[in-house]
Structure 1
């Protein structure tokens, strides 16, 4: 016999949200949505988790506030960390400290490129080729926002090819700051003199040359003049 609606215990809204947050965390920590991955859309989460749209929205918002997820306008919501260190790091790196951001990027990206040259797999190389092609297409489009996202995606692919989970998580935590440095460098328009070729970086990784990959990764990450 099907129980009457009134006899079914319906958890308070706050409890449902907490349960949904824990379900999302479990999927992230379990590797279903690794760092850098785009999570399913809101309707898909509603169907998968069996809760209402508002509950999903609040749970996602809480994880964004915690620095685990990041909403990107027109693109979706992405996993940027598996812990709550991200917002602490991100706040320090986006507080008008562009010279520091570039130094941190250099520390991460140079080592990531070196490791990628040593550890890249055929799948990594395919991902790098795809990301590089998307970056080139974004540059030709003339749209600054599109190019910034494509450039960040290429650098993220290099970090992924390093196969160091901790490095990938720390790098993801500074994703917003990374895009900010690129956006500042580009200005309001994609001018030819601002173009930086990343093809040589990808080739150095493909050739398995860690020294050359590190040099290429660091070549375009110089602090602003006067810094």
Structure 2
């Protein structure tokens, strides 16, 4: 399937997982992927399905917290001055998007966090973040709607300020509430 659509295997797997989480396909290991039965499902299967979707969302946020908090600690001692300027520019752009399209807002938010992780200058954390970025963006976009986009720029401003003064503990603290579900 990945080759047919010209995407990587991990991207194809993520799409299939999301479609299964949304109840649109059934994955039968060893047999293939099938369109889900559109007929009525009993309440028990719906609650299991809902529980699995909630577990996936919780898992994404748990991994996000682990990666971003440690990246913030490391970035506090490794971010170059031009990195601080770039983060402030992204933060300003994100503020201007409040009240707008959720997907654009989330894309900008993920880009900001990608830059913080890159500032940590640790390849493995960067790779972990890249694996997390797409599911994180999908989850955040699902959770948000345009009229109620949360203003997380205060947390992000505190993070940039901590990076600027090279305070690893303050950077981690500023990242923690932003990475909670």
Could you state the TM-score of these two structures normalised by the residue count of structure 1? 0.56
Q: CA offset at residue 66 of structure 1?
A: 3.1
Moved over 4 A (4+): 58-61, 90-95
| CA pair 190-164 structure 1, distance change in 2 beyond 3 A | farther
Partner of 1:154: 112
Contact 1:115 1:162 (8 Å CA) reproduced: yes
SS where residue 184 of structure 1 aligns?
helix
SS where residue 98 of structure 2 aligns?
helix
1:65 paired to 2:8: yes
Mapped to 2, the partners of 1:219 and 1:207 lie a distance apart of 20
Q: CA offset at residue 60 of structure 1?
A: 11
What does the per-residue CA deviation read over 1:52-109, in whole Å, with 9 as the maximum and x for residues that have no partner? xxxxxx98953x2334xxxxxxxxxxxxxxxxxx766x57985521011110000000
Partner of 2:29: none
Mapped to 2, the partners of 1:203 and 1:185 lie a distance apart of 28
Partner of 1:191: 148
Mapped to 2, the partners of 1:208 and 1:60 lie a distance apart of 47
| Structure 2: tracts of 5 or more residues without a match | 22-52
Among candidates 61, 65, 81, match of residue 106 of structure 1: 65
Mapped to 1, the partners of 2:180 and 2:118 lie a distance apart of 23
Among candidates 67, 90, 93, match of residue 131 of structure 1: 90
Partner of 2:177: 219
Whose radius of gyration is greater, 1 or 2? 1
Alignment of 1:1-227 (within 5 A): 61-62=5-6, 64-67=7-10, 90=14, 95=21, 96=53, 97-139=56-98, 142-186=100-144, 188-191=145-148, 194-196=150-152, 197=154, 198-223=156-181
Contact 2:68 2:179 (8 Å CA) reproduced: no
Q: CA offset at residue 123 of structure 1?
A: 2.5
Per chain length, whose mean CA-contact separation is higher, i.e. which structure has more relative contact order (CA < 8 Å, sep 6+)? 2
- Size of the aligned set, in residue pairs, is 143
Whichever structure has more helix as a proportion of its residues is 2
SS where residue 147 of structure 2 aligns?
coil
Q: CA offset at residue 185 of structure 1?
A: 3.4
| CA pair 60-152 structure 1, distance change in 2 beyond 3 A | farther
